[in-house]
């Protein structure tokens, strides 16, 4: 029952948890009657409690980890990064050994004391990755490494080739020819990011007020051309399938179902740039199984895992050795263009997040 | 007057039909698309298949989430109903001038947003060093369901005739005997309705569940996290199963309530 400051965010300053427990007269309660659940204390040796997106905790991944790495995964699902942070902040660090953050949440989680660095020497598979992913600045905080991404992707443009022909630029999303048949995402980092890329702003997530205002003006001028700002990816997928929308800023995940449904759907990282994301295994602060977490992190960087993941989920592995095992047609389908990774702008938490939200609300309300 | 009522009947029928359509059309679509061969939920339907249900049956994570949901819901029914019935009866009999205050106090958890309740419970458990598990979820769900039980039972108590219990007391029955022999049978339909509502509330709950669960998933948590990348036919299939369970519960409640009412009128 060591005192852990990071778990006490919700207590008034100066009151230790122990004192609160004594005051409530229930000091023994936690240890005895209610600890029936499978916490870390009763976990077996090779078991990792895995707090993750549902994709990485599905049956095939659990079986694969058991079979190839001899690790038992016990996944618990979250559905947004903010949810994940809130649960860890509220005491979830006691429950889980590892999480799968998106790169823009690494620094906030590290600063809040929710995650633990890993030893670079424990990840020999890093050598087999594309060089771009071996050293991703957002995965290190204060010189400590918090993860090496095993999966990555880009939010970019999906288009209906039959209607628009080939597309290579963001211009299509601002083309009056497609008035009422375009869609953007209802999320400030994505949509203001697109505006910044269109204006040629070098570091979108470090924009100042003047640039934000220009982006706002641009997006307001784009608004009459849009059919919708989509919130759920299923909505934009349906609109692309029905032909209501001919081009949209969206996720790669829409493409495969669209093609299966007979739509000639194209996918392109526009020449102005695309917005990238990456995810990695990161140890939770205070895990007693750091070594095993590192073993699993290294396993996710293996060619076997990368190939398996690409085939089952259609996400792009960061492992070059994995991509080498895939047929060229599949590589193209996955939207992997390793030569162009430098064109990606990896999403970061903007310096002034509140201001970004305000600007985005102003665009939507205009 | 009679003429007006006559002319309003078809209009009323139409209105009722529209309201029902508004309420049930989305559910119907979910069921329909769960049998669709295409992964995209748009018309026209491309063909019919049971593939998505087959995939669910083979999905270990889905099976354990389903079992967890049933376990939590069943335990919540017991806990919330027991507490709610006890509190409602107590307030009704012995509340005296505190009755109003106690009633609104009991309804309070209903007013608190689930998000706040979830985070509050999480930090509460953390302060007490209680390990999160399905047990903590059950406690959370019982707090959610408790006010509904309380309100349903209270409504029934207010409408009941106090002279029956007074008669029993005159004939020498003790408090416990009265409660078991008179009060509980009178409350039976209300208790059943409250239990079924608790079950449905618990079976659907996602926010409180997320914050109070340890390393277990429930069905709604699973659906919610799968939605990150869109609505797949598998989610439609899960939703269909959930709808079937809820409808079955409602149907059972209706039958039981009718029987209970028939019994009590016969007596």
What tokens appear for B99 in the block? Answer: 């009755």
What tokens appear for A161 in the block? Answer: 């080739």
B83 part of a folded domain: yes
Cα separation, A315 vs A278, whole angstroms? 11
B176 touches chain A (CB under 8 A): no
Beta carbons of B168 and B178 less than 8 angstroms apart: yes
A42 touches chain B (CB under 8 A): no
Contact B40 A90 (CB under 8 A): no
A148, pLDDT greater than 90: yes
Contact A78 B225 (CB under 8 A): yes
Quote the pLDDT of residue A27: 37
CA distance A213 to chain B (A): 31
B5 part of a folded domain: no
Please give the residue range of the domain that contains residue B77.
Answer: 61-229
Domains of chain A, CATH where assigned = 43-152+277-338 (3.40.190.10), 153-276+345-365 (3.40.190.10)
Of the candidates B42, B227, B229, the beta carbon closest to that of A251 is on B229
String of b and e for B35-45 (b: at least 16 CB within 10 Å)? bbebbbbbeee
Confidence band (pLDDT; 50, 70, 90) for A295?
very high
- Interface test with chain B among A6, A90, A99, A287, by most B beta carbons within 10 Å: A90
SS3 content of chain B, % helix, strand, coil (to 5): 80, 0, 15
Quote the pLDDT of residue A95: 87
Quote the pLDDT of residue A32: 37
Contact A30 B230 (CB under 8 A): no
Beta carbons of B106 and B148 less than 8 angstroms apart: no
String of b and e for A248-278 (b: at least 16 CB within 10 Å)? bbbbbbbbebbeebebebbbbbbebbbbbbb
Distance of CA A78 to the CA centre of its chain: 12
B38 part of a folded domain: no
Contact B40 A237 (CB under 8 A): yes
Phi-psi region of B27 (alpha: psi -120 to 50; beta: other; left: phi over 0): alpha
Task: From residue B17, give the alpha-carbon distance in Å to each of A245, B5, B12, B27.
Answer: 33, 18, 8, 15
Contact A254 B230 (CB under 8 A): yes
A218, pLDDT greater than 50: yes
User: How many residues appear in chain B?
Assistant: 267
Q: How is residue A316 annotated by DSSP?
A: E
- Which pTM does this prediction carry? 0.76
Quote the pLDDT of residue B86: 92
A182, pLDDT greater than 90: yes
| Half-sphere CA count of A205, side-chain side, radius 13 A | 15
A74 touches chain B (CB under 8 A): yes
Cα separation, A79 vs A273, whole angstroms? 27
Task: From residue A220, give the alpha-carbon distance in Å to each of A169, A224, A278, A366.
Answer: 19, 8, 30, 7
B90 touches chain A (CB under 8 A): no
Sign of CA dihedral A19, A25, A28, A31: negative
Contact A37 B214 (CB under 8 A): yes
Quote the pLDDT of residue A30: 39
- Which residues in B lie closer than 8 A to residue A21 (C-beta atoms)? 127-129
Quote the pLDDT of residue B5: 54
Nearest chain A residue to B216, by CA: A76
CATH at residue B174: 1.10.3720.10
- Which residues in B lie closer than 8 A to residue A313 (C-beta atoms)? none
A21 touches chain B (CB under 8 A): yes
Quote the pLDDT of residue B68: 92
Task: State the count of interchain CB pairs (< 8 A) between A and B.
Answer: 141
Distance of CA A17 to the CA centre of its chain: 34
B20 part of a folded domain: no
Task: From residue B10, give the alpha-carbon distance in Å to each of A112, B14, B16, B22.
Answer: 64, 6, 10, 18
pLDDT digits (tens, 9 = 90+) for A68-78: 889 999 899 98
CA end-to-end distance (rounded Å), chain A: 53
Contact B40 A26 (CB under 8 A): no
Cα separation, A42 vs A45, whole angstroms? 9
| The three-state (H, E, C) secondary structure of A183-200, written as one string | EEECCHHHHHHHHHHHCC
- Which residues in B lie closer than 8 A to residue A87 (C-beta atoms)? 122, 210-211
B131 touches chain A (CB under 8 A): yes
The number of folded domains in chain B is: 1
A141 Cβ neighbours under 8 A, 6+ residues apart: A106, A107, A110, A111
Of the candidates B40, B127, B131, the beta carbon closest to that of A35 is on B131
B33 part of a folded domain: no
Of the candidates A20, A90, A95, the beta carbon closest to that of B214 is on A95
**Average pLDDT over all residues of chain A:** 83
CA distance B120 to chain A (A): 9
pLDDT digits (tens, 9 = 90+) for A237-253: 889 988 889 999 998 88
Window A:90-129, CB contacts with B under 8 Å:
90-92, 94-96
Sequential pLDDT tens for chain B (267 residues):
444 555 568 888 899 999 998 988 888 888 888 888 777 777 777 778 888 888 887 777 888 888 999 999 999 999 999 999 999 988 988 877 888 888 888 888 889 999 899 999 998 988 888 888 899 999 999 999 999 999 988 888 887 888 888 888 899 888 888 888 888 888 888 898 889 889 988 988 999 999 999 888 888 888 888 776 666 788 888 888 888 887 888 787 777 667 666 655 554
B226 touches chain A (CB under 8 A): yes
A2, pLDDT greater than 60: no
Contact B230 A20 (CB under 8 A): no
Phi-psi region of A243 (alpha: psi -120 to 50; beta: other; left: phi over 0): left
B123 part of a folded domain: yes
Quote the pLDDT of residue A196: 92
Confidence band (pLDDT; 50, 70, 90) for A25?
very low
B176 part of a folded domain: yes
A24, pLDDT greater than 60: no
Of the candidates B42, B135, B229, the beta carbon closest to that of A241 is on B42
Beta carbons of A307 and A295 less than 8 angstroms apart: no
Confidence band (pLDDT; 50, 70, 90) for A43?
very low
Distance of CA B19 to the CA centre of its chain: 22
B192 Cβ neighbours under 8 A, 6+ residues apart: B253, B256, B257, B260
Quote the pLDDT of residue B7: 56
- Interface test with chain B among A234, A236, A250, A259, by most B beta carbons within 10 Å: A234
A36 touches chain B (CB under 8 A): yes
Contact B127 A76 (CB under 8 A): no
Q: At residue A191, what are phi and psi to the nearest 5 degrees?
A: -75, -40
Cα separation, B210 vs B204, whole angstroms? 12
Q: What DSSP line would sit under A12-66, residue for residue? A: PTT--HHHHHHHHT-TTTTTTTTTTS--GGG--TTEEEEEE-GGGGSHHHHHHII
Contact A53 B222 (CB under 8 A): no
A230 touches chain B (CB under 8 A): no
Quote the pLDDT of residue B70: 92
B71 part of a folded domain: yes
Nearest to A135 by CA among A124, A123, A149, A155: A149
Q: What DSSP line would sit under B22-84, residue for residue? A: HHHHHHHHHHHHTTBSSSS--SSP--B--HHHHHHHT-HHHHHHHHHHHHHHHHHHHHHHHHH
Quote the pLDDT of residue A13: 41
* Pairing between β-strand A182-185 and β-strand A274-279 as defined by DSSP bridges: unpaired
CA distance B230 to chain A (A): 4
Quote the pLDDT of residue A10: 38
A91-95, A154-158, B133-137, range with the lowest pLDDT: A91-95
Burial class, A184, CB count within 10 angstroms (exposed 0-12 / middle 13-18 / buried 19+): buried
- Which residues in A lie closer than 8 A to residue B227 (C-beta atoms)? 79, 232, 234
Cα separation, B69 vs B219, whole angstroms? 6
A14, pLDDT greater than 60: no
A349 touches chain B (CB under 8 A): no
Beta carbons of B32 and B240 less than 8 angstroms apart: no
Cis peptide before A356 (omega within 30 of 0): no
A277 touches chain B (CB under 8 A): no
B123 touches chain A (CB under 8 A): yes
- Which residues in B lie closer than 8 A to residue A241 (C-beta atoms)? 40, 42
Cα separation, B159 vs B157, whole angstroms? 5
* Angle at the Cα of A61 from the Cα atoms of A307 and A113, rounded to 5 degrees: 105
B81 touches chain A (CB under 8 A): no
User: How many residues appear in chain A?
Assistant: 366
CA distance A90 to chain B (A): 5
């Amino acid at each position: 029952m060591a005192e852990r400051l990071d778990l006490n965010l919700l207590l008034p300053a100066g009151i230790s948890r122990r004192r609160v427990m004594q005051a409530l007269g229930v000091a023994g309660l936690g240890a005895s009657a209610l600890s029936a659940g499978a916490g870390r204390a009763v976990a077996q040796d090779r078991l990792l409690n895995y707090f993750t997106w549902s994709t990485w905790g599905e049956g095939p991944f659990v079986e694969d980890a058991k079979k190839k790495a001899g690790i038992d995964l016990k996944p618990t699902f979250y559905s947004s990064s903010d949810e994940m942070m809130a649960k860890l902040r509220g005491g979830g660090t006691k429950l889980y050994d590892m999480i799968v953050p998106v790169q823009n949440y690494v620094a906030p989680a590290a600063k809040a004391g929710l995650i633990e660095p890993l030893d670079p020497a424990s990840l020999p598979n890093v050598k087999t990755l594309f060089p771009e992913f071996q050293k991703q600045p957002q995965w290190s905080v204060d010189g400590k490494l918090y993860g090496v991404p095993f999966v990555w992707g880009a939010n970019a443009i999906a288009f209906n080739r039959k209607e628009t022909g080939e597309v290579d630029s963001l211009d299509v999303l601002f083309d009056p020819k497609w008035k009422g048949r375009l869609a953007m995402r209802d999320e400030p980092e994505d949509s203001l990011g697109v505006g910044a890329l269109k204006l040629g702003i070098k570091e979108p997530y470090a924009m100042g007020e003047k640039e934000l205002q220009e982006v706002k003006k641009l997006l307001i001028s784009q608004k009459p051309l849009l059919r919708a700002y989509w919130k759920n990816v299923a909505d934009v997928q349906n609109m692309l399938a029905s032909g209501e929308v001919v081009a949209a800023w969206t996720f790669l995940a829409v493409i495969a179902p669209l093609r299966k449904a007979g739509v000639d759907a194209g996918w392109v990282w526009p020449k102005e740039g695309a917005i990238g994301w990456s995810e990695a295994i990161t140890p939770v602060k205070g895990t007693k199984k750091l070594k095993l977490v590192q073993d699993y992190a290294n396993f996710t960087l293996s060619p076997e895992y990368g190939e398996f993941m690409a085939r089952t989920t259609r996400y792009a592995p960061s492992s070059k050795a994995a991509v080498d095992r895939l047929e060229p047609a599949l590589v193209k389908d996955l939207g992997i263009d390793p030569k162009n990774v430098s064109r990606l702008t990896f999403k970061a938490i903007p310096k002034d997040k509140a201001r970004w939200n305000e600007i985005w609300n102003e665009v939507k309300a205009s | 007057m009679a003429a007006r009522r006559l002319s309003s009947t078809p209009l009323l029928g139409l209105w009722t039909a529209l309201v029902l359509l508004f309420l049930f059309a989305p559910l119907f679509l979910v069921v329909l698309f769960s049998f669709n061969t295409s992964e995209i939920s748009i018309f026209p339907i491309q063909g019919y298949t049971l593939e998505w249900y087959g995939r669910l049956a083979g999905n270990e994570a889905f099976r354990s989430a389903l079992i967890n949901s049933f376990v939590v819901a069943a335990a919540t029914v017991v806990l919330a109903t027991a507490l709610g019935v006890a509190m409602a009866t107590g307030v009704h009999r012995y509340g005296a001038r505190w009755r109003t205050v106690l009633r609104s106090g009991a309804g309070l958890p209903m007013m608190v947003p689930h998000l706040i309740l979830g985070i509050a419970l999480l930090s509460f458990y953390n302060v007490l060093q209680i390990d999160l598990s399905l047990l903590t979820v059950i406690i959370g769900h019982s707090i959610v369901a408790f006010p509904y039980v309380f309100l349903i039972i209270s409504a029934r108590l207010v409408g009941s005739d106090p002279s029956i219990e007074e008669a029993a007391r005159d004939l020498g029955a003790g408090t416990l005997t009265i409660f078991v022999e008179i009060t509980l049978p009178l409350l039976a339909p209300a208790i059943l309705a409250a239990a079924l509502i608790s079950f449905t509330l618990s079976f659907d709950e996602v926010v409180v569940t997320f914050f109070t669960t340890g390393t277990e998933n429930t069905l709604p948590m699973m659906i919610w996290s799968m939605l990150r990348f869109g609505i797949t036919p598998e989610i439609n299939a899960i939703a269909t199963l959930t709808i079937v369970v809820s409808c079955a519960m409602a149907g059972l409640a209706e039958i039981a309530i009718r029987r209970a009412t028939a019994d009590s009128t016969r007596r």
